[in-house]
Amino acid sequence: MRMRTLLMPVFALCLLVVAPRAAQAQGSYFTPYIGSSFDSSFDDFDFGTKLHYGAQLTWLGSSGIGFEVDFGYAPTFFKPGDDNFFDLDSEGSVTTLMGNLVLGGGGGGVKPYVSGGMGLMRSNIDTPSELFDFEDNGWGVNVGGGLRIGSQRLAVKGDLRYFRQLSDLGTINDFDLGDFHFWRATGGVSFGF
Protein backbone atom coordinates (compact mmCIF):
# COMPACT_ATOMS: atom_id res chain seq x y z
CA MET A 1 0.00 0.00 0.00
CA ARG A 2 2.86 2.36 0.86
CA MET A 3 4.51 1.85 -2.55
CA ARG A 4 1.22 2.51 -4.35
CA THR A 5 0.81 5.76 -2.42
CA LEU A 6 4.30 6.86 -3.50
CA LEU A 7 3.83 5.86 -7.15
CA MET A 8 0.60 7.75 -7.80
CA PRO A 9 2.14 11.27 -7.63
CA VAL A 10 5.07 10.15 -9.82
CA PHE A 11 2.72 8.80 -12.51
CA ALA A 12 0.59 11.97 -12.35
CA LEU A 13 3.67 14.17 -12.78
CA CYS A 14 4.87 12.06 -15.71
CA LEU A 15 1.51 12.44 -17.45
CA LEU A 16 1.46 16.20 -16.91
CA VAL A 17 4.96 16.61 -18.33
CA VAL A 18 4.64 14.16 -21.21
CA ALA A 19 1.07 14.63 -22.48
CA PRO A 20 1.61 18.02 -24.19
CA ARG A 21 4.87 16.83 -25.75
CA ALA A 22 3.51 13.49 -27.01
CA ALA A 23 1.24 15.25 -29.51
CA GLN A 24 4.25 16.77 -31.28
CA ALA A 25 6.63 13.86 -30.77
CA GLN A 26 9.05 12.67 -33.42
CA GLY A 27 8.69 9.18 -32.08
CA SER A 28 7.30 7.14 -29.24
CA TYR A 29 8.87 3.82 -28.33
CA PHE A 30 8.00 0.91 -26.07
CA THR A 31 10.95 -1.32 -25.18
CA PRO A 32 10.59 -4.43 -23.00
CA TYR A 33 14.06 -5.54 -21.86
CA ILE A 34 16.00 -8.18 -19.98
CA GLY A 35 19.49 -7.95 -18.57
CA SER A 36 21.75 -8.17 -15.57
CA SER A 37 23.12 -6.01 -12.78
CA PHE A 38 26.79 -5.94 -11.83
CA ASP A 39 29.03 -4.08 -9.38
CA SER A 40 26.01 -3.93 -7.06
CA SER A 41 26.64 -3.24 -3.41
CA PHE A 42 25.83 -1.76 -0.05
CA ASP A 43 29.17 -0.09 0.68
CA ASP A 44 31.64 -3.03 0.42
CA PHE A 45 29.18 -5.94 0.09
CA ASP A 46 28.92 -7.08 -3.53
CA PHE A 47 25.76 -8.94 -4.61
CA GLY A 48 27.15 -10.22 -7.91
CA THR A 49 25.18 -10.35 -11.15
CA LYS A 50 21.40 -10.66 -10.94
CA LEU A 51 18.62 -10.89 -13.52
CA HIS A 52 16.70 -7.69 -14.26
CA TYR A 53 13.70 -7.20 -16.51
CA GLY A 54 11.31 -4.38 -17.22
CA ALA A 55 10.30 -1.86 -19.85
CA GLN A 56 10.94 1.68 -21.05
CA LEU A 57 8.40 4.04 -22.58
CA THR A 58 10.08 6.89 -24.48
CA TRP A 59 8.74 10.03 -26.18
CA LEU A 60 11.10 12.04 -28.39
CA GLY A 61 10.43 15.49 -29.79
CA SER A 62 11.51 16.69 -33.23
CA SER A 63 14.70 18.13 -31.65
CA GLY A 64 15.76 14.65 -30.43
CA ILE A 65 15.16 15.59 -26.79
CA GLY A 66 12.51 13.66 -24.91
CA PHE A 67 11.28 11.93 -21.80
CA GLU A 68 11.42 8.32 -20.69
CA VAL A 69 9.79 6.23 -17.98
CA ASP A 70 11.91 3.22 -16.99
CA PHE A 71 10.49 0.43 -14.84
CA GLY A 72 12.89 -2.31 -13.74
CA TYR A 73 12.58 -5.33 -11.47
CA ALA A 74 15.18 -7.74 -10.09
CA PRO A 75 13.30 -10.53 -8.26
CA THR A 76 16.36 -12.25 -6.74
CA PHE A 77 18.66 -9.27 -6.20
CA PHE A 78 19.44 -10.15 -2.56
CA LYS A 79 19.57 -13.93 -2.99
CA PRO A 80 22.88 -15.17 -1.56
CA GLY A 81 25.83 -15.84 -3.81
CA ASP A 82 29.35 -17.11 -3.22
CA ASP A 83 30.70 -13.90 -1.66
CA ASN A 84 27.41 -12.44 -0.54
CA PHE A 85 27.02 -10.76 2.84
CA PHE A 86 23.61 -12.36 3.36
CA ASP A 87 24.83 -15.90 4.02
CA LEU A 88 21.46 -16.75 5.54
CA ASP A 89 18.77 -18.12 3.27
CA SER A 90 17.65 -14.62 2.24
CA GLU A 91 15.56 -13.53 -0.70
CA GLY A 92 14.79 -10.06 -1.86
CA SER A 93 14.06 -7.81 -4.76
CA VAL A 94 14.83 -4.38 -6.11
CA THR A 95 12.25 -2.35 -8.06
CA THR A 96 13.08 0.91 -9.82
CA LEU A 97 10.77 3.47 -11.42
CA MET A 98 12.63 6.38 -13.02
CA GLY A 99 11.62 9.45 -14.98
CA ASN A 100 14.46 10.44 -17.33
CA LEU A 101 15.39 13.11 -19.84
CA VAL A 102 16.63 11.55 -23.10
CA LEU A 103 18.83 12.94 -25.86
CA GLY A 104 18.86 10.98 -29.15
CA GLY A 105 17.85 7.44 -29.99
CA GLY A 106 14.95 8.14 -32.38
CA GLY A 107 14.35 7.26 -36.00
CA GLY A 108 15.97 4.52 -38.06
CA GLY A 109 19.56 3.37 -38.47
CA VAL A 110 22.12 3.29 -35.66
CA LYS A 111 21.07 5.87 -33.07
CA PRO A 112 23.06 6.47 -29.88
CA TYR A 113 21.36 8.12 -26.90
CA VAL A 114 22.07 9.33 -23.38
CA SER A 115 19.58 9.40 -20.55
CA GLY A 116 19.38 10.38 -16.90
CA GLY A 117 16.93 11.29 -14.19
CA MET A 118 15.51 10.32 -10.86
CA GLY A 119 12.71 8.28 -9.32
CA LEU A 120 11.90 5.62 -6.78
CA MET A 121 14.01 2.65 -5.67
CA ARG A 122 12.33 -0.04 -3.56
CA SER A 123 14.45 -2.63 -1.77
CA ASN A 124 12.95 -5.68 -0.09
CA ILE A 125 14.94 -8.30 1.86
CA ASP A 126 13.21 -11.38 3.29
CA THR A 127 14.48 -14.32 5.31
CA PRO A 128 12.48 -17.46 6.12
CA SER A 129 12.74 -16.78 9.85
CA GLU A 130 11.69 -13.12 9.36
CA LEU A 131 14.69 -12.25 11.54
CA PHE A 132 16.14 -9.78 9.01
CA ASP A 133 13.07 -8.70 7.00
CA PHE A 134 13.64 -5.22 5.61
CA GLU A 135 11.77 -2.92 3.23
CA ASP A 136 12.78 0.53 2.01
CA ASN A 137 11.33 3.04 -0.44
CA GLY A 138 13.73 5.82 -1.35
CA TRP A 139 14.63 8.33 -4.01
CA GLY A 140 17.34 7.41 -6.47
CA VAL A 141 19.10 8.68 -9.56
CA ASN A 142 20.21 6.96 -12.74
CA VAL A 143 22.36 7.89 -15.73
CA GLY A 144 23.27 5.91 -18.81
CA GLY A 145 23.06 5.49 -22.52
CA GLY A 146 23.05 3.04 -25.33
CA LEU A 147 22.21 2.29 -28.95
CA ARG A 148 18.95 1.80 -30.82
CA ILE A 149 19.57 -0.11 -34.09
CA GLY A 150 16.88 -0.68 -36.71
CA SER A 151 13.95 1.15 -38.23
CA GLN A 152 11.56 3.72 -36.79
CA ARG A 153 8.97 0.97 -36.16
CA LEU A 154 11.18 -1.94 -35.01
CA ALA A 155 14.68 -1.96 -33.56
CA VAL A 156 16.94 -3.62 -31.02
CA LYS A 157 18.13 -1.55 -28.11
CA GLY A 158 21.10 -2.00 -25.80
CA ASP A 159 21.34 0.04 -22.61
CA LEU A 160 23.96 0.52 -19.87
CA ARG A 161 22.84 2.43 -16.78
CA TYR A 162 24.09 3.33 -13.27
CA PHE A 163 21.64 3.52 -10.33
CA ARG A 164 22.30 5.05 -6.92
CA GLN A 165 19.97 5.56 -3.98
CA LEU A 166 20.21 9.12 -2.65
CA SER A 167 19.88 8.17 1.01
CA ASP A 168 21.31 5.36 3.13
CA LEU A 169 19.05 2.33 3.27
CA GLY A 170 19.20 2.23 7.04
CA THR A 171 19.97 -0.63 9.38
CA ILE A 172 19.01 -4.25 9.93
CA ASN A 173 19.45 -5.28 13.58
CA ASP A 174 21.97 -2.45 14.20
CA PHE A 175 23.97 -3.24 11.04
CA ASP A 176 24.31 -0.20 8.77
CA LEU A 177 23.48 -1.07 5.15
CA GLY A 178 25.04 2.17 3.86
CA ASP A 179 24.91 3.47 0.30
CA PHE A 180 23.17 1.33 -2.29
CA HIS A 181 24.17 1.37 -5.96
CA PHE A 182 24.48 -0.89 -9.01
CA TRP A 183 25.08 -0.97 -12.77
CA ARG A 184 22.53 -2.55 -15.10
CA ALA A 185 23.09 -3.76 -18.68
CA THR A 186 19.99 -4.68 -20.72
CA GLY A 187 18.88 -5.52 -24.24
CA GLY A 188 15.44 -5.47 -25.76
CA VAL A 189 13.23 -5.00 -28.77
CA SER A 190 12.01 -1.43 -29.33
CA PHE A 191 8.60 -0.87 -30.93
CA GLY A 192 7.87 2.55 -32.46
CA PHE A 193 4.33 3.91 -32.59
For the segment 145-167, what is each residue's pLDDT rounded down to a tens digit?
A: 999 999 999 999 999 999 998 87
What integer pLDDT is reported at residue 84 of this predicted model? 46
The pLDDT of residue 21 is 47
What is the amino acid identity at position 43? D
The CA-to-CA distance between both ends of the chain, in Å, stands at 33
Number of independent structural domains in the chain = 1
pTM, 2 dp:
0.75
Task: Please report the pLDDT score of residue 103 as a whole number.
Answer: 96
Segments forming the whole domain that contains residue 71 = 2-192
181-191: pLDDT as tens digits: 899 999 999 99
DSSP letters spanning 129-170: TSSS-EEEEEEEEEEEEEEEEE-SSEEEEEEEEEEEESS---
Whichever domain contains 133, its CATH number is 2.40.160.20
Amino acid at 48: G
Nearest Cα neighbor of 85 from 40, 124, 30 is: 40
Does position 4 have pLDDT exceeding 60, yes or no?
A: no
* pLDDT tens by residue, 58-109: 999 988 999 999 999 998 877 765 554 544 455 788 999 999 999 998 888 9
Each residue's pLDDT tens digit, 42-54: 655 666 788 999 9
